Amino acid sequence: MQFPYSPGLASGKALGRLAMHAMLATLVLGCAGRKTTLGDGKPAPEAAQNPIPDSSKANAVSVPRAEADAYWEHRGDPDTARLALGAYLRAVEAVPPDAALLGRVARAYYLVANYVETDGAKKDSLFLKGVEAAERGMALHPGFAKVFQATKDEKKAVRELGLESIDVIYWYSANLGKWASDKSLMVRLGNKSKLEAYSKRVLELDENYFHGAAHRFFGALPTKVPGGDLNESKRHFEKAIAIEPNYFGTRTLYAELYATKARDKDTFTKQLDYVIATPAGSLPDAEPENRYEQAIARQLKEKTHEWFD
Q: Is 43 or 176 the better-scoring residue by pLDDT?
A: 176
Residue 270 domain boundaries: 207-309
DSSP assignment letter at 52:
P
Is residue 47 included in any domain, yes or no?
Answer: yes
What is the value of pTM for the model shown?
0.83
What are the helix (H) ranges across 76-184?
Answer: 78-94, 99-111, 120-139, 142-151, 154-157, 166-181
Considering the domain architecture, whether residues 125 and 217 belong to the same structural domain is answered as: no
pLDDT in tens, 69-98: 999 999 999 999 999 999 999 999 888 879
**Length of the chain, please?**
309
Is residue 2 included in any domain, yes or no?
Answer: no
d(CA 61, CA 84): 14
Considering the domain architecture, whether residues 283 and 217 belong to the same structural domain is answered as: yes
Is residue 12 included in any domain, yes or no?
Answer: no
Considering the domain architecture, whether residues 40 and 172 belong to the same structural domain is answered as: yes
Considering the domain architecture, whether residues 263 and 140 belong to the same structural domain is answered as: no
Considering the domain architecture, whether residues 90 and 175 belong to the same structural domain is answered as: yes
Are the C-beta atoms of 148 and 39 separated by less than 8 Å? Answer: yes
Is 238 exposed, middle or buried (CB count within 10 Å of its CB: 0-12, 13-18, 19+)? middle
Considering the domain architecture, whether residues 173 and 50 belong to the same structural domain is answered as: yes
Helix axes 99-111, 78-94, angle to 10 degrees: 160
Considering the domain architecture, whether residues 155 and 67 belong to the same structural domain is answered as: yes
Q: How far is CA 31 from CA 12, 171, 211, 215, in A?
A: 28, 22, 31, 26
Considering the domain architecture, whether residues 118 and 219 belong to the same structural domain is answered as: no
The one-letter code for the residue type at 113 is: A
pLDDT in tens, 129-153: 999 999 999 999 999 999 999 999 9
User: How many CB atoms lie under 10 A from the CB of residue 201?
Assistant: 21
Q: Is 41 or 249 the better-scoring residue by pLDDT?
A: 249
pLDDT for 64: 75
pLDDT in tens, 105-116: 999 999 999 999
Considering the domain architecture, whether residues 151 and 226 belong to the same structural domain is answered as: no
Considering the domain architecture, whether residues 245 and 168 belong to the same structural domain is answered as: no
Q: What is the CATH number of the domain that holds 244?
A: 1.25.40.920
Are the C-beta atoms of 62 and 93 separated by less than 8 Å? Answer: yes
DSSP 277-307: HS-GGGSGGGHHHHHHHHHHHHHHHHTHHHH
Considering the domain architecture, whether residues 44 and 151 belong to the same structural domain is answered as: yes
* Residue 241, helix vs strand vs coil: helix
Is 213 exposed, middle or buried (CB count within 10 Å of its CB: 0-12, 13-18, 19+)? buried
Is residue 20 included in any domain, yes or no?
Answer: no
pLDDT band at 44 (very low <50, low <70, confident <90, very high): very low
Number of domains in the chain: 2
State the average pLDDT for the chain. Answer: 85
Considering the domain architecture, whether residues 57 and 128 belong to the same structural domain is answered as: yes
